[in-house]
Amino acid sequence: MVPFGSSQRNAAGGDLAGRQPFRGPESAFRYASPAMSRRAYRILPTESTTFHPRLMGRRGAVAANSYFSVNAGMEMLHAGGNAIDAAVAATLVEGVVNPQMHTIGGECPILIRPAGENRVVALNGNMAAPARATPEAFRARGLSDVPDSGILAAGVPAAFHALLTALSRWGTMPFREVVAPALELAKNGFPVSEGLVRQHKYGIAAMRERFLREWPASAALYCPGGRVPEVGETFRNPALARVFEHLASARDPLEAFYRGEIAEEIARFSRERDGLLAREDLAAFETRIEQPVCLRFGDTELFKTGFWSQGPAELQTIALMWQFDFAAIGFGTADYCHLLIEAMKLAYADREQYYGDPAMTRVPGDVLLSPEYTKKRAALIDMKRANRELRPGDAWRGAALLPEAERLVPKDWGAGTVHVDAVDAKGNIASFTPSGAWISSAEVIPALGFPLSVRMMTFYLGPENHPNVVAPGKRPRTTLTPSLAFRGGRPWMAFGTMGGDNQGQWLLQFYLCRAAFGMTIPQAIEAPRLSSEHTPGFFAPHAAEPNRVRIEPRFGEDVIEELRRRGHDVDVAPDWTEGFVSAAEWNADTGLIEAGCDPRGAKAECFPSFANVF
């Protein structure tokens, strides 16, 4: 076993902390016959080449889930702004053009590496529960869970506060300039994408019946005349444009949003529908600036937001895997997939047992990330057989397994997000994961043009000792998990994805592809991925499918059959549907900037992922 705080070298002498490609051209290319056409422009196989090229530049980069948002970010960089200005502008545009994934009524956790500093700061851009949100308030309405849609799941919108906090502390441009691209698109329109119309469960076509039946304001905006718009049809959001104009002209945009007419409109909308959210909740809201959690793996260091997110579960998973011999296991083998799945089961069982808002619940974070606890937990992994149990550790006592009587197992044991990365030539690095207030889970507020987030659905109503029981002012634990990494003690890259409970699983695979197997950004993005449904989900009703694994077929039939033989319940996914990663990196030594985006965004008809560098 190899401690996760140390470096490991493979048999050929390459450093598995990030410098040895998992496969090279010499291992994949077979030279063609001399009789092959003289007119060919390539005679070597293309199995080892990527769909997207390496995008490289020296001045700045933006990667996100729409070419419109990337263009907005690049516009800020070209105008002299920095990576934070670019990320804020891109995020605002994402909330306009990908409303099936995020709008300004949602959340936005953020990680930032300020230029010239050897530190990372975390912004807790998570919503807060209203003062009247208690288990009793929901039970009095005949509910056994916080609903997964509608006004009762609405908390204080956090995204706008987080964006303005980032802009005012680390940006360089005024809000009126960074909001201009989003305002223009909302006011004058943009061509509707395949994802906005067709996305599975979240797109307008999938939501049309509910819009017409339950949410008239959503129907009026997104299905005028009862009709689903055609792909490429121009879409406008006049109410949202007016909101942006109001905020752009305000002396204090935060005051205007959280204590002015917008807050009153939100409170009125909630009050008329028997919601819990009140104007006083918005007025009291603040974005917390925090220290991120981090662990070192070889010569790399991965930073995540705190235990109110699922980010630390990624650190726990990689730490467990780092105990094993990656050189002997190799990427994409049955042993690799099995180890990945079993490590995620253990880490995410701890997520279910212990994670919550650290301001309102005790979280044994230091133990969960400690080498001693990790070694004890890693010893539970049987490399020959899948384990069906939900097995949290006993973090308070420092033991590998928690007694069964103390385990928080949901009663039924047996959504959308986007991401923005930006870097600039000075070394500012930004990782933003905006989400929530998607149009599939709540009605649009007619006067504002956006819905409210329903992130309170991740809360529990009991038992009382559950770390994520709803309480006034509490931040619900969230799947949102931006990522920022250092290599060799210096800033390296930002990356992230959408994907609910799968976000962390997909991101840690991308990170392993880079940190342990030496892949480039496009290689790591396009490598096959999988996800486990073994652990209870964050979203109500917190369902799980023990031993269920969803896997892309590019791992190969032999690997898939071997996983079945070891006891995994394998669901072979349509190819190019597991994860939607974007990334941007900065090389402090050479000044080289790179970025990349996932072809899965377009292949899965979720959103037109894009990246640009100059």
- Who contacts 167 (Cβ-Cβ below 8 Å, separation ≥6)? 84, 85, 88, 173, 175, 178
Q: What is the mean pLDDT of residues 406-424?
A: 76
pLDDT tier, 138 (very low <50, low <70, confident <90, very high otherwise): very high
Q: 10 Å Cβ neighbour count for 508?
A: 26
The tens digit of pLDDT for each residue in 322-334 reads: 999 988 999 999 9
CA distance 1 to 508: 20
The answer on 186 and 129 residing in a single domain is yes
Same-domain status, 262 and 331: no
Do the domain assignments include residue 49? Answer: no
The whole-angstrom distance between residue 372's C-alpha and the CA centroid of its chain comes to 29
pLDDT single digits (tens) 213-227: 999 999 999 999 999
Q: How confident is the model over 5-26, as a mean pLDDT?
A: 37
Q: Are residues 271 and 408 in the same domain?
A: no
Asked, for residue 34, whether it belongs to a domain, the answer is: no
Q: Are residues 217 and 138 in the same domain?
A: yes
pLDDT above 90 (res 27): no
Q: Are residues 515 and 373 in the same domain?
A: yes
In a domain, 526, yes or no: yes
Q: Mind listing the pLDDT tens digit for each residue in 233-266?
A: 999 999 999 999 999 999 999 999 999 999 999 9
In the predicted structure, residue 6 carries a pLDDT above the cut 90: no
Please check the confidence at residue 276 and state whether its pLDDT lies above 90: yes
- Specify if 260 maps to a domain: yes
pLDDT tens digit sequence for 339-351: 999 999 999 999 9
Q: Indicate whether 179 and 318 sit together in one domain.
A: no
Cis, bond preceding 541 (omega within 30 deg of 0): yes
Is 47 part of any domain?
no
Does residue 37 sit within a domain? no
Residues 6+ apart with CB under 8 A from 189: 234, 235, 236
DSSP class of residue 123 equals E
**Structure tokens given for 20:** 């040895």
What CATH number did the domain enclosing 357 receive? 1.10.246.130
Identify whether residues 526 and 550 lie together within a single domain.
yes
Q: Say whether both 230 and 296 belong to one domain.
A: no
Question: Same domain, yes or no, for 197 and 309?
Answer: no
Sign, CA torsion 258/260/265/271: positive
Asked if the structure places residue 59 within a domain, the reply is: no
| Residues 170 and 303 grouped into a single domain | no
362 and 486 together in one domain: yes
How would DSSP label each residue in 453-495? --GGGG-B---TT-TTB--TTPPPPBS---EEEEETTEEEEEE
pLDDT tens for each residue of 443-495? 999 999 999 999 999 999 999 999 999 999 999 999 999 999 999 999 999 99
Q: What is the span of the domain harbouring residue 331?
A: 291-415+479-581
| One domain, residues 209 and 316 | no
Record the tokens describing residue 584, joined without a space.
């941007």
Provide the whole-model pTM: 0.93
How many domains does the chain fold into?
A: 2
User: Would 45 be classed as within a structural domain?
Assistant: no
**What pLDDT is attached to residue 37?**
77
Mean pLDDT for the chain overall: 92
Q: Count CA atoms closer than 13 A to 137's CA, side-chain side.
A: 19
Q: What is the mean pLDDT of residues 269-283?
A: 98
Q: How far, in Å, are 52, 273, 484, 488 from residue 62 at the CA level?
A: 15, 40, 14, 23
Instruction: Please write the tens of the pLDDT for every residue from 495-506.
Output: 999 888 889 999
